[in-house]
Amino acid sequence: MSNSEIGLIGLGTMGAMLALNIAEKGFPIAVFNRTTSRTSEFHAQAGDLADRVTPCETLEAFVAAIKPPRSIILMVPAGDAVDQQIDALRPLLDADDLIIDAGNANFHDTNRRARAASEAGHPYLGIGVSGGEEGARHGPSIMGGGPKEAWDRVSHILEAISAKYEDTPCATWMGEGGAGHFVKTVHNGIEYADMQMIAEVYGVMRDGLGMGAADCADVFKTWNKGPLQSYLIEISGAVAAATDPVTGNPMLDMILDRAGQKGTGRWTAIEAQHLAAPITAIDAAVAARNMSAQLDIRRKGETRFGAAPEALPESALTIDQLEQALIAGKVLCYAQGFELLNAASDSFGWTLPMPDIARVWREGCIIRSSMLNDMASALTDDAKRNLMFAPAFTDILKRTHGALRHAVATAAQSGLPLPALSAGLGYFDIMRTGRSTANMIQGQRDFFGAHSFERVDQDGAHHGPWGSHR
């Protein structure tokens, strides 16, 4: 009866794909879903893998089907459903049975659950799984968090099912408690910014250069052979190339410009604010997604203020310059993401393995790209360094920031919004300004609140001669 190596609860799209992946890699698996008809349907559709899948109608049968000490993956919607599932499951388990939450949990929840489990003497892991449906089925990127010994118990399974970058599994333990889910959250924040920047250059091509979707698709396909090679550029090309079966128009032209979100990008922005970590490009991308939802007010704005944008003057901006601008924007966005990870690592008492994070993102996940391999090398040399200052990326930025500036300025002149690229440029310019304008902020703070300031020529705290100016 107890012949399954592992169990999985939650046979939604991601859970079902992950279960098939696990079975395919040779691990007998017990599965359970709250709606029992889904469990039998899943088993019936498992094909050749059905022999390795034990479908269970009750939680008791599910627990009994797994070899002790048990390992059980939860793939239920993030939030209360995870707590409810843990509460239902725990009384049926032995003390050393391991629960693994593989959903997109908020890392604060994972910290809380991990603490509760540890106090009760139970092992608990929170793992971030990236790669969408395809990734879950054929090889996701996996970011683990929780007790290292618990990770070691199941790492052979997680590595076997993960994506491989030149034979190296994209599955790594990131640290205690919610470390894995935190890294996954930042992955998603970067995902938002990467997607937004691609959408912005698409907007320049469509509205500024008057290019149709098919031409944009060709550009993305070409870019995917160069330094921008990535899954997101690849799928942007595929999306732009598709034809709507209903109208025969480009599919992209028929998709409403209102983007959805489940909230992980927002979590990244919130955590960055708590940590005082500047992630301006990611913040801008999250805000842009929110503004995309304000369709009615945007339409009113177009009526009130006139339609922006105007087409760009001929040869004001070339495709090559746009590519360079996107390269610069991408480097800056990742530099911000890794800076946030560093800030979290210090603040939460983790030792996040920075180069390994870049390595684990090289395959399987949504932000996989060739640039991540260079980032892994740069972070191996110095894990704490802002990527802007790693020689390889300094060189790239020196070569490309002019194009980013030109793209942002040209687009602004024509009313084309590039919020994430502009935010990246603003970050770059601040990060290379030795004397900023914060002296004015300090003067203002001291003027209205006697907060004091430091002087450029003397140590200590000082006040200004404001009396006669009030």
Binding site residues, ligand 6PG, CB under 6 A: 104, 130-132, 188, 191, 260-262, 264-265, 365-366
| β-sheet bridge partners, residue 55 | 31
Which residue carries 């599932």 as its tokens? 85
For 276, 340, 376, 444, 456, the CA distances from 452, given in Å and listed in that order, are: 21, 29, 42, 10, 13
Q: Say if residues 282 and 333 touch (Cβ distance below 8 Å).
A: yes
Q: Of 302, 323, 320, 308, whose CA–CA distance to 417 is shortest? A: 308
What distance in Å separates the CA atoms of residue 459 and residue 186, rounded to the nearest whole number? Answer: 38
Gap between the Cα atoms of 103 and 94, Å rounded: 23
DSSP string, 356-396: HHHHHTSSSSTT-BTHHHHHHHHHHH-TTS-GGGSHHHHHH
Closest residue to ligand 6PG using C-beta atoms = 130
Which is the catalytic residue, given 5, 184, 330, 339? 184
Residue closer to ligand 6PG, measured from CB, 292 or 394: 292
Q: How far is the CB of 264 from ligand 6PG (least distance, A)?
A: 5
Kindly tell me which of 151 and 231 has the beta carbon lying closer to ligand 6PG: 231
| Of the candidates 53, 29, 30, the residue with the CA atom closest to the CA atom of residue 43 | 53
CB of 135 to ligand 6PG, least distance (A): 6
Q: Whose Cβ is closer to ligand 6PG: residue 71's or residue 188's?
A: 188
User: Minimal distance in Å, beta carbon 363 to ligand 6PG?
Assistant: 13
Nearer to ligand 6PG, 191 or 339 (CB): 191
Q: How far is the CB of 88 from ligand 6PG (least distance, A)?
A: 25
Q: For the residues of 168-231, what is the DSSP string, one character each?
A: EESEEEEESTTHHHHHHHHHHHHHHHHHHHHHHHHHIIIIIS---HHHHHHHHHHHTTTTT-BH
* 330 part of the active site: no
Q: How far is the CB of 137 from ligand 6PG (least distance, A)?
A: 12
Which CB, 189 or 227, lies closer to ligand 6PG? 189
**Residue 142 — φ and ψ, nearest 5°?**
-125, 125
Catalytic residues, by residue number, are: 184, 191
